[in-house]
Structure 1
Amino acid sequence: MSGRKAIVPAGMETVYEKIHYAPAVKVGNTVYVSGQIGRDANMKLVEDREAQIVQAFENLKAVLEASGAALADVVDVTTFHTDMRDLPLFMEVRDRYLNTHPLPAWTAVGAHMLGGAAGYIVEIKAVAVLAD
């Protein structure tokens, strides 16, 4: 496939270079964002539940911005949750970030473990489409 570009925002080089995945790939005007978890710029888990969800959205926002997109360009979101009882808190935080109409499609999935380590409670994967 031609025209693919890896999107690697500042501070996320480690995932590309050592873990071997792109935080996002841009193809034409579509941006495919890999699952973003609640780890900070030092690759450390953010432990507070709400703060971890916020950090995952901030990471999503940073990846989108590095690609030339914004949260308002998101058309599809898939979230993975280690405890579905966190959905009300997740939706409260989500609505702070994804509040442009029309709202994106959303799929929420329960998962045993995220980010390859215990402690992560949410992972956010998204697709954004830039205006022509």
Structure 2
Amino acid sequence: MSQHFNSEQAPEPVGLYPHARKVGNLLFLSGVGPRERGSSKIPGVQLSEDGEILSYDIEEQCHSVFKNVRLILEASGSSWDQLVDVTVFLTNMKADFPIYNKIYAEYFKDNQPCRTTVEISSLPTPIAIELKCIATI
């Protein structure tokens, strides 16, 4: 038996999937980015008229994506301290990893879930970071 969850505060999914799905005592989050709910605005991103990324601030995106993960966890009956595994996708490992790693350490100093960080060429929206998380519930 599984149950789906959607947060009324986190950004809407960009496809046909829930924010999270509970199976047993585990909560699986769909990929979460830094977008803001109700708009296509991405904190720290400046786009051209064609929708191409002109510049971005990875620090601002990190804070926003962590906020969105927290909103989804709480709407699903879990919490930040119940995260057990985090997969992080970055579009520019060389430039962004040091900043992201520093901010990650601030957010996860008390709870230290397993973590994997990988570089990918792009994400479905013009973002530089996305998280895929598993938590207990």
What are the within-5 Å matches in structure 2 for residues 95-110 of structure 1?
95-101=105-111, 103-110=112-119
Q: Identify unmatched segments of 5+ residues in structure 2.
A: 46-56
Q: TM-score scaled to structure 1, two decimals? A: 0.85
Return the letter of the residue paired with 1:125. K
Q: Identify unmatched segments of 5+ residues in structure 1.
A: none
Higher fraction of helix: 1
User: What is residue 30 of structure 1 aligned with on the other side?
Assistant: 26
Match of 2:98 among 80, 88, 95: 88
Q: TM-score scaled to structure 2, two decimals? A: 0.82
Supply the distance in 1 between the matched residues of 2:12 and 2:83 (Cα, whole angstroms).
Answer: 25
Percent of pairs with identical residues: 30
Return the letter of the residue paired with 1:43. S
Supply the distance in 2 between the matched residues of 1:11 and 1:43 (Cα, whole angstroms).
Answer: 14
What are the within-5 Å matches in structure 2 for residues 1-132 of structure 1?
2=1, 4-12=2-10, 14-15=12-13, 19-41=15-37, 42-46=39-43, 47=45, 48-85=57-94, 86-101=96-111, 103-114=112-123, 116-118=124-126, 120-130=127-137
**Does the aligned pair in 2 maintain the 1:71–1:97 contact within 8 Å?**
no
Give the length in aligned residue pairs. 123
Measured on the aligned residues, the alpha-carbon RMSD in Å equals 1.7
Instruction: Give the match's secondary structure for 1:35.
Output: coil
Q: Structure 1 stretch 51-60 or stretch 89-98: which is displaced more? A: 89-98
CA deviation after TM superposition for structure 1 residue 11, in Å = 3.7
Q: 1:13 to 1:112 in 2, by over 3 A?
A: closer
